[in-house]
Amino acid sequence: MNQIYELKLWGGKDFDFYSGFGSHNPEITQPYLEVIITFLESHNPALVVCDLGCGDFNIGKHLTRYTKKYYAIDIVENLVARNKNIFKEAHLEFHCLDIAKDQLPPADCILLRQVLQHISNSEIQQVVKKLHAYKYIILTEHLPWGNFTPNKDIISGQGIRLKQHSGVNLLEAPFNLKIKEATILNEHVLEQNKGCIVTTLYTIF
């Protein structure tokens, strides 16, 4: 992931750090923010949120005000240090962690936005083991449009499973996440047969 930012593999040549068009294109980000803010506002008291793979924080900066506490997690040390310098709120904490290997902060709700699609099945399985400690999981994934074979394995990196006509589905093998309820919050179809970005709320208990 360090190399992705250093070499600008996701674009953003005019940015110090850039988490890709999915974090900056208003056609994608605005509908996402609207449904997440609606969800967060519906809870009183406010929820403690853990954002796994917060990236350049172009999304998270709009959500913190609706939470009791906001943990923003990323694996890229320089990116986390940069975020700490720019975004300062009393209830906001940035941590440099490997979400597959490291212990995660306690929270009510996990945000996982277009992160799992970039990592291998073995790493996803390590993450899934930790998700049962949280009440709500809000997962956003870039998926093929229509029917597809879920969870084809990849090597962790900048690419995703779309080229294999696959995408991450945590409810299917080999992950088999056990949930109480699933609700699709948003579905954004991309042009030129580039699939769709789907945000799903999983209630775990």
pLDDT for 15 equals 63
Tokens 């709500």 correspond to what residue? 136
pLDDT for 55 equals 92
Which range marks the domain in which residue 51 is found? 25-203
Is 55 within a domain?
yes
Is 79 within a domain?
yes
pLDDT for 190 equals 92
Residue partners of 113: CB distance under 8 A and separation at least 6: 32, 51, 53, 59, 138, 139, 140, 199
pLDDT for 205 equals 85
Is 16 within a domain?
no
CATH number of the domain encompassing residue 187: 3.40.50.150
pLDDT for 193 equals 80
pLDDT for 103 equals 97
pLDDT one digit per residue (tens) for the chain, 205 residues: 555 555 454 555 666 655 666 778 899 999 999 999 999 999 999 999 999 999 999 999 999 999 999 999 999 999 999 999 999 999 999 999 999 999 999 999 999 999 999 999 999 999 999 999 999 999 999 999 999 999 999 999 878 999 999 999 999 999 999 999 999 999 999 987 889 999 999 999 8
Is 52 within a domain?
yes
Count of domains for the chain = 1
Residue partners of 88: CB distance under 8 A and separation at least 6: none
How many CA atoms are closer than 13 Å to the CA of 201, on its beta-carbon side? 17
pLDDT for 17 equals 56
Residue 201's closest CA among 49, 95, 75?
49
Which pTM was predicted? Answer: 0.92
Is 12 within a domain?
no
Residue 170's closest CA among 117, 107, 118?
117
Tokens 């789907």 correspond to what residue? 198
In the three-class reduction of DSSP (H, G, I as helix; E, B as strand; rest coil), residue 30 is classed as: helix
pLDDT for 7 equals 41
In the three-class reduction of DSSP (H, G, I as helix; E, B as strand; rest coil), residue 202 is classed as: strand
Structure tokens at 80: 């986390």
pLDDT for 191 equals 84
Is 118 within a domain?
yes
Tokens 């990236």 correspond to what residue? 55
